[in-house]
């Protein structure tokens, strides 16, 4: 099966809808107001079915200048254009605007239908054809066939059908290998079915029962049913006009411009970098002007920031950033149209380069956008990962960022990892230059810390993480990959760092060891040691902790330290007591050690916390098994 989307274009009342009806037998004007007024107001749909599996879905668009926004909502998924010009009126204002739009969207092929030929003479018809050839010169329609037709008499309708078939067979099919993406152009309800949305699938495939996400609102749903060209189907593919029945979603929750996509693969955006081209014969556009931006089926107000200049003139092009008032869904490579804020008229368009951008220097942005515009897939992904900075980008989001099939994206990422340009931490991709910067920052922070704290084994990991603003899991993985550091539980230090005591420190250490050894079970507090030795209390604490780490001291609490030999003597005394009794009062413990309550209680709390003793009310129970194994 091959599916191709044909869109009509042309001025109001040039017979677009009548021609669609003549071709298909389907009236695309579905609204009562359209039938009453004889004018297409919103998008209409029909289809042409050919032998050998070719189906041409037709999107009929309104021609009135005030309804261009509706026309644009249907133009995004078009493969070929049926450009309609009435023989009795020839080229009119919306003929020109529609042609500009088709050119800006880079539609590659089309046909020209010269309608209402039953109303004019042959000589006039020849003049109009000459005007049309001049009108389309230099555009994608320059060599397109001009087919004179009459929807009223059906003159040459069969010839036009055949020309449509020939053109459609040359269209390159949309990829069904990428992520499914269906911009919504209609939302309605059917009794017994619930909410129905329609659209033209840009890429991928979807099946009944699949879970989908509607963005930018983030609504999750399931596909209850699928219809395409009047038939119920199990699977819908890129390039098809699709009606989708959604489970558990209210009609009022959805709108034109929303997008049905695969869950957790796309990120709504309010900032888009793009290549911009201004039409000929339009007023200049200044940086920070407000415009109407049309991407897919969405229309949103945006402010344009021009890169490297303050103004762009008619016929010029440049890179820019659109800062949107609302979130939308777009992909790198999407085409877009901009219309002036007031008066509302089409002034330009171009290609989305980075649909999830952020504020950067103009010079750097221009360099990156050149690669997004012309580079190969690996180059584009490399730049995107680099632009994502220290937070990186989830590998699963790459497929929702650039229009390419899964396998190509996977191969590109693996290639970048193999050459060392990109590093992957679980699902997060980080650019090598970003990781190198991270390593240098960590190294500098640790060097500064070690310089200020020569007696500390290292910095707390959480304190170090706070400088990076990384999530704990990603930080742990990145710091573990830093070959210049050592992570010891919650402490991080440089690989080259070792605690070395000066001669003064060694003297202080020996003095404290002697004092604490002589004090036995009545040790001086850290504060008392500080006063006795006339040394900074915090500095003494660091040396005491170092002595604990090397095993010469035991830390009872923040205030009390005892030597290891004193501690062993305490355990031996407890062992001896346990051979006579299995329970012990505080007063008995004081007597065993020959010390006061001031010291006995901290010692007991330490023994309790280490499960050497177990407190019940005022008594401690001693475990001979535990004591024997100390």
CA-wise closest residue to 610 among 596, 594, 626? 626
Q: Which two tokens stand for residue 518?
A: 């002589």
CA-wise closest residue to 303 among 331, 323, 276, 282? 323
**Per-residue pLDDT tens over the stretch 156-178:** 999 999 999 999 999 988 777 78
Q: How many other C-beta atoms are found inside a 10 Å radius of the C-beta of residue 488? A: 10
What pLDDT is stored for residue 32 in this prediction?
44
Please say whether the dihedral angle defined by the alpha carbons of residues 70, 76, 79 and 80, taken in this order, is positive or negative.
positive
What pLDDT is stored for residue 381 in this prediction?
96
| Cβ atoms of 377 and 412 closer than 8 Å | yes
Confidence of residue 62 (pLDDT cuts 50, 70, 90): low
Beta strands in 401-511 (DSSP E): 422-425, 428-431, 459-460, 485-488, 491-494
Give the relative orientation of helices 472-480 and 432-452 as an angle to the nearest 10 degrees. 90
Sheet holding 2-9, edge to edge: 44-49, 54-60, 2-9, 80-86, 109-115, 146-148
* Angle 439-444-447 from CA coordinates, rounded to 5°: 125
For residue 64, pLDDT over 60 is answered with no
The torsion region of residue 617 among left (phi > 0), alpha (psi -120 to 50) and beta comes to left
What pLDDT is stored for residue 72 in this prediction?
58
Length of the chain: 630
Q: Which two tokens stand for residue 444?
A: 């500098």
404-420: average pLDDT? 93
429-450: average pLDDT? 95
| Cβ atoms of 566 and 516 closer than 8 Å | yes
Q: Where in the chain is the domain with CATH 1.10.10.10?
A: 432-494, 503-630
The burial of 11, by beta-carbon neighbours within 10 Å (0-12 exposed, 13-18 middle, 19 or more buried), is given as buried
| Pairwise pLDDT comparison (597 vs 623), residue with the higher score | 597
Q: Where in the chain is the domain with CATH 3.40.50.300?
A: 2-169
Mean pLDDT of the chain: 88
Q: What are the CA-CA distances from residue 285 to residues 101, 312, 363, 484 (Å)?
A: 18, 5, 20, 52
What pLDDT is stored for residue 263 in this prediction?
93
Rg of the chain (C-alpha set) = 38
For residue 476, pLDDT over 70 is answered with yes
For residue 33, pLDDT over 70 is answered with no
Residue indicated by tokens 């229009």? 403
Q: Within its chain, how far is the Cα of 193 from the centroid?
A: 33
The burial of 125, by beta-carbon neighbours within 10 Å (0-12 exposed, 13-18 middle, 19 or more buried), is given as middle
Report strand pairing: 290-295 vs 335-340: antiparallel
CA-wise closest residue to 323 among 304, 295, 297, 350? 304
What pLDDT is stored for residue 328 in this prediction?
95
What pLDDT is stored for residue 28 in this prediction?
59
For residue 627, pLDDT over 60 is answered with no
Does CATH place domain 2-169 in 3.30.2010.10? no
CA-wise closest residue to 81 among 109, 49, 50, 47? 109
| Cβ atoms of 48 and 19 closer than 8 Å | no
- Lowest-confidence region among 23-37, 140-154, 284-298: 23-37
Q: Which residues on adjacent β-strands are paired with residue 304?
A: 322
For residue 481, pLDDT over 90 is answered with yes
Name the 3-class secondary structure at 51: helix
For residue 544, pLDDT over 80 is answered with yes
Domain 181-261: which CATH number of 2.40.10.10, 2.160.10.10, 3.90.850.10, 2.40.30.10:
2.40.30.10
| Cβ atoms of 15 and 27 closer than 8 Å | no
96-100: average pLDDT? 88
379-400: average pLDDT? 94
Name the 3-class secondary structure at 142: coil
Q: What one-character DSSP code corresponds to residue 595?
A: -
308-327: average pLDDT? 96
CA–CA dist 307, 318 (Å, integer): 7
**432-494 topology per CATH:** Arc Repressor Mutant, subunit A (1.10.10)
Secondary structure of 85-123 in HEC code, one letter for each residue: EECCCCCCHHHHHHHHHHHHCCCCEEEEEEECHHHCCHH
Does CATH place domain 503-630 in 1.10.10.10? yes
| Pairwise pLDDT comparison (362 vs 593), residue with the higher score | 593
Name the 3-class secondary structure at 216: coil
**Per-residue pLDDT tens over the stretch 548-598:** 888 999 999 999 999 999 999 999 999 888 888 888 999 999 999 999 999
**Per-residue pLDDT tens over the stretch 215-269:** 999 999 999 999 887 788 999 988 888 889 999 999 999 998 999 999 999 999 9
Give the relative orientation of helices 526-533 and 537-550 as an angle to the nearest 10 degrees. 120
For residue 344, pLDDT over 90 is answered with no
Secondary structure of 303-345 in HEC code, one letter for each residue: EEEECCCCEECCCCEEEEEEEEEEEECCCECCEEEEEECCCCC
| Cβ atoms of 277 and 336 closer than 8 Å | no
Q: What are the CA-CA distances from residue 175 to residues 330, 400, 401, 410, 517 (Å)?
A: 17, 14, 15, 16, 80
Name the 3-class secondary structure at 302: strand
| Cβ atoms of 543 and 509 closer than 8 Å | yes
**Per-residue pLDDT tens over the stretch 518-529:** 999 999 999 999
CA-wise closest residue to 186 among 178, 198, 177? 198
Secondary structure of 488-532 in HEC code, one letter for each residue: ECCEEEECCCCCCCCHHHHHHHHHHHHHHHHHCCCCCEHHHHHHH
CA–CA dist 45, 24 (Å, integer): 10
């Amino acid at each position: 099966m091959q599916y191709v989307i044909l869109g009509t274009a042309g001025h109001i009342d040039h017979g677009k809808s009548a021609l669609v009806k003549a071709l298909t037998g389907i009236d695309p004007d579905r609204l009562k107001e359209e039938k009453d007024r004889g004018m297409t107001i919103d998008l209409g749909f029909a289809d042409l079915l050919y032998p050998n599996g070719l189906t041409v879905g037709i999107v009929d668009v309104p021609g009135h200048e005030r309804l261009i926004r509706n026309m644009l909502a249907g133009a995004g998924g078009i493969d070929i254009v049926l450009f309609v010009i009435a023989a009795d009126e020839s080229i009119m204002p919306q003929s020109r605007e529609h042609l500009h739009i088709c050119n800006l969207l880079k539609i590659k092929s089309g046909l020209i239908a010269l309608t209402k030929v039953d109303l004019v003479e042959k000589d006039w018809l020849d003049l109009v054809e000459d005007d049309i050839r001049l009108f389309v010169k230099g555009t994608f329609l320059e060599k397109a066939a001009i087919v004179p037709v009459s929807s009223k008499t059906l003159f040459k309708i069969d010839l036009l059908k055949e020309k449509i078939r020939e053109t459609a067979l040359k269209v390159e099919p949309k990829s069904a290998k990428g992520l499914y993406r269906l911009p919504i152009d209609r939302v309605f309800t059917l009794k017994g079915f619930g909410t129905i949305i329609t659209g033209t699938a840009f890429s991928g495939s979807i099946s009944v029962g699949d879970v989908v996400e509607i963005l930018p609102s983030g609504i999750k749903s399931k596909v209850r049913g699928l219809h395409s060209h009047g038939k119920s189907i199990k699977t819908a593919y890129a390039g098809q006009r699709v009606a989708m029945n959604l489970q558990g979603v209210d009609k009022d929750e959805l709108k034109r411009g929303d997008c049905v996509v695969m869950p957790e693969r796309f990120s709504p955006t309010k900032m888009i970098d793009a290549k911009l081209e201004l039409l000929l014969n339009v007023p200049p556009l200044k940086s920070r002007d407000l415009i109407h931006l049309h991407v897919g089926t969405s229309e949103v107000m945006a402010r344009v920031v021009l890169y490297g200049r303050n103004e762009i003139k008619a016929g010029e092009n440049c890179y820019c950033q659109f800062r949107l008032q609302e979130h939308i869904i777009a992909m790198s490579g999407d085409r877009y149209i901009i219309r002036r804020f007031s008066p509302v008229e089409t002034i330009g368009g171009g290609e989305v380069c980075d649909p999830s951008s952020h504020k950067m220097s103009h010079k750097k942005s221009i360099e990156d956008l050149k690669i997004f515009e012309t580079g190969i897939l690996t180059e584009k992904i490399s730049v995107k990962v680099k632009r994502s900075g220290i937070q990186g980008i989830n590998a699963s989001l790459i497929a929702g960022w650039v229009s390419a099939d899964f396998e190509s994206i996977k191969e590109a990422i693996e290639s970048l990892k193999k050459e060392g340009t990109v590093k992957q931490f679980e699902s997060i991709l980080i650019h090598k230059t970003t990781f190198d910067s991270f390593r240098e920052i960590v190294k500098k922070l640790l060097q500064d810390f070690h310089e200020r704290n020569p007696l500390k084994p290292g910095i707390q990991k959480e304190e170090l993480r706070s400088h990076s603003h990384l999530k704990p899991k990603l930080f742990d993985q990145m710091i573990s990959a830093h070959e210049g550091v050592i992570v010891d539980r919650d402490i991080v230090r440089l690989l080259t760092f070792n605690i070395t005591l000066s001669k003064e420190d060694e003297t202080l250490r020996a003095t404290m060891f002697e004092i604490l050894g002589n004090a036995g079970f009545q040790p001086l507090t850290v504060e008392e040691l500080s006063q006795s030795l006339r040394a900074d209390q915090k500095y003494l604490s660091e040396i005491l902790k170092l002595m604990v780490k090397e095993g010469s001291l035991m830390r009872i609490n923040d205030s009390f330290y005892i030597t290891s030999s004193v501690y062993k003597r305490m355990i031996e005394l407890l062992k001896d007591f346990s051979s006579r009794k299995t329970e012990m009062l505080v007063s008995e413990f004081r007597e065993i050690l020959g010390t006061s309550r001031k010291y006995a209680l901290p010692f007991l709390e330490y023994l309790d916390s280490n499960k050497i003793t177990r407190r019940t009310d005022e008594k401690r129970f001693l475990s001979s098994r535990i004591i024997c194994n100390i």
